[in-house]
Amino acid sequence: MVPFRVSRWAATVCLAFLGSLIPFSVFAEKSFFVVPAISTSKNDGRDFGIIVPILDSDDEGNLRSVFAPLLIHNSFLGVRGTLNYFQYWSGGRQWEAVGSYTEEIERKFKLRYKDPGFIEGLFFIDIGAQFFKNATKRFFGIGQITPESNETNYTGREIQVHWNFGVHLNDVTRLSVNQRFRDVEIQLGGVDDEPFTRDRFPHTAGINGATILAHRLVFQYDSRDNLTAPTAGTRVEAFSEVAQNFDRRKIDDQLYFRYGFDARQFFPSPSKRYIFLIRGRLQLSFGDGIPFFEQSSLGGENNLRGYGRDRFIDKHMVVVNVEERVHLFQIKMFNVHVEFEAVPFVDMGRTYRNFSYRQFNEWEVSPGMGFRGIVRPNLVSRVDWGYSREGGAVFAGLDYPF
CATH code of 181's domain: 2.40.160.50
* pLDDT at residue 4 in the model: 30
136 lies in some domain: yes
* pLDDT at residue 361 in the model: 63
* pLDDT at residue 22 in the model: 35
402 lies in some domain: no
Q: What is the DSSP letter of 143?
A: B
Radius of gyration of the chain (CA): 21
Q: pLDDT per residue over 253-268, tens digit each?
A: 689 999 999 999 999 9
* pLDDT at residue 33 in the model: 75
* pLDDT at residue 27 in the model: 45
What is the identity of the amino acid at 306? G
Phi and psi (nearest 5°) for 101? -140, 130
* pLDDT at residue 12 in the model: 34
Please state, in angstroms and rounded to a whole number, the distance separating the CA atoms of residues 87 and 13. Answer: 22
294 lies in some domain: yes
1 lies in some domain: no
Instruction: Verify cis geometry, omega within 30 degrees of 0, for the bond prior to 195.
Output: no
* pLDDT at residue 253 in the model: 61
74 lies in some domain: yes
* pLDDT at residue 26 in the model: 35
330 lies in some domain: yes
User: 200 lies in which domain range?
Assistant: 8-397
* pLDDT at residue 334 in the model: 66
2 lies in some domain: no
Q: What is the DSSP letter of 23?
A: G
> What DSSP element (H or E) covers 184?
strand 173-187
Q: Which of 395, 323, 322, 314 is nearest to 362 (CA)?
A: 314
Number of domains in the chain: 1
CA 92: distance to chain centroid? 19
219 lies in some domain: yes
What's the predicted TM-score (pTM) here?
A: 0.85
* pLDDT at residue 57 in the model: 82
Q: Which positions of the chain have pLDDT values less than 70? A: 1-29, 248-253, 334, 355-361
